[in-house]
Amino acid sequence: MSPQWMDKLVIPSRTKIVFLIMDGLGGLPAEGKPGTELETANTPHLDALAGGGVCGLLDPIAPGITPGSGPAHFALFGYDPVINNVGRGLLSAAGLDFPMTERDLFMRVNFATLNSDGQVIDRRAGRIDTETNERLCRKLDAGIRPAPGTEVFFATEKEHRALIVLRGDNLREEISETDPQQTGLPPLAPEALITEASGTADLLADLLNQAKMVLADEPKANMILLRGYSRYHRFDSMSERFGLFPVAIASYPMYRGIARLLGMAVYSPTSTLEEEIAALEAAWQDYDFFFVHVKPTDSRGEDGNFDAKVKAIEAVDALIPRITALSPDVLVVTGDHSTPAALASHSWHPVPVLLSARTCRPDRVEHFGEGDCLSGGLGRMPMSSLMTVALAHAGRLTKFGA
């Protein structure tokens, strides 16, 4: 069943749904460990939810496909991740509440470190702090001269991530990314993927050359890498599709951006997991769908730090009683994709999921982990079907047919 087709079955309800998303949750076993990061973590509260609920595995895009965070989150919320795939730049712009126009080309930026040979030796510039990022954006804004008829805007996102907006006429998004995705290689040139994008590619090449000169004296962040080009797109909101009044509680701008594009209210930025749970409690009476995003699980996986990812999962588990005390009608705990510390990157492995609700048919899973979820009652299903299942358990779908 197509997620969009399912919308016709939605009926009004006052039930409440929580999606607790541990970014990059899925993992792989490590030598000397009893299993994956999730299986190694001490998670008594998640295990209790699994024991009384129903579990399974989710494929964010399709089996064997490694997803980006953007399309994976669209899938979580019931939007086809292929049809609705957009560049990460648009998500960042929405997350920063940048005043967008139809003449804008949005690009996600990584500040990076080049060695004397022009090779990338750190794609994240040592994860510079946000204050340094803000200083660098001001430096670029003062030092770069855009081509006639265009404007360039720089905005800090968080840590090593930033946003560049190129504003002008007839800009195209069909440009190759400049991030080589590994160290030891020089940044790639922005190349037009279609003939009509050649002018935009030339503008970006000039912008990058200027940025390299402006940042030449920086000890760490002496170059920028461009990713996720996108023009503006409009999406049917979750209220329009599902009759929900949703709110997002997330610290990173990109995830706030996805929420904003899908019509969610966006709660004030939070800095810690404890603050996110406090925000959930504060917003409980005003909304009926709650997206709570946890970033450290993904960050520690990308760092290749197995033990730190385990601790991040355990920190989430410790706060589960505060969520269950609110008595949500449906509580879903999962991730958007797998980020095994063993790979230090996103991977194609399916993501464990648990659903707790009074209406669920409990399976035999007693521990929330990848191996146990393999035999769970939800089976292995597309991530875009998760919203349908959650709505059904919340009493928000009518029957199909006579």
Give all strands (DSSP E) within 256-397, no chain letters.
265-266, 289-294, 330-334, 351-357, 379-382
What values do phi and psi take at 291, rounded to 5? Answer: -100, 110
7-35 average pLDDT score: 95
Provide the pLDDT for residue 264: 96
Question: Could you tell me which residues are beta bridge partners of residue 246?
Answer: 289
- Give phi and psi for 34, each to the nearest 5: -75, -5
**Structure confidence at residue 18 (pLDDT):** 98
Q: Which pair of structure tokens corresponds to residue 281?
A: 């409690």
* Residues whose CB is less than 8 angstroms from the CB of residue 296 and which lie 6 or more positions away in sequence, other chains included: 273, 309, 312, 315
Q: Distance between CA atoms of 280 and 350, rounded to whole angstroms?
A: 28
* For residues 36-47, average pLDDT: 98
Q: What is the DSSP-derived secondary structure letter of residue 171?
A: -
Residue found by looking up tokens 């954006």 in the block = 137
Predicted pLDDT at 79: 95
Same fold, 3-85+235-393 and 91-230: no
Which residue bears the tokens 């004030």? Answer: 268
**CATH class of the 3-85+235-393 domain in this structure:** alpha beta
376 with 360: CB under 8 angstroms? Answer: no
The answer on pLDDT for 1 being more than 50 is no
The sign one gets for the Cα dihedral 284, 287, 288, 290 is negative
Q: Give me the helix-helix angle, 130-143 and 198-214, nearest 10°.
A: 110
- What percentage of the chain reaches a pLDDT higher than 70? 99
Sign of CA dihedral 21, 23, 27, 31: negative
Contact 212, 221 (CB under 8 A): no
Rounded Cα–Cα distance for residues 14 and 7 (Å): 17
Spell out the domain ranges in the chain: 3-85+235-393, 91-230
Q: Could you give the percent of the chain with pLDDT greater than 90?
A: 86
Q: State residue 355's pLDDT score.
A: 98
Select from 1.10.10, 3.30.70, 2.30.30, 3.40.50 the CATH code of 91-230: 3.30.70
Question: Tens of pLDDT along 277-325?
Answer: 999 999 999 999 999 999 999 999 999 999 999 999 999 999 999 999 9
The per-residue pLDDT for range 178-234, each reduced to its tens digit, is 999 899 999 999 999 999 999 999 999 999 999 999 999 999 999 999 999 999 888
Residue 4: the pLDDT is 67
**pLDDT at residue number 2:** 45
Q: What pLDDT score does 388 carry?
A: 96
First to last CA, the chain: 17
Q: On the CB side of 262, how many CA atoms lie within 13 Å of its CA?
A: 31
CB atoms within 10 A of CB 127: 15
Alpha helices in 150-283 (DSSP H): 198-214, 238-242, 253-261, 273-283
For residues 249 and 255, give the distance between their C-alpha atoms in angstroms, rounded to a whole number. 9
pLDDT tens-digit readout, 135-167: 999 999 999 999 999 999 999 988 899 999 999
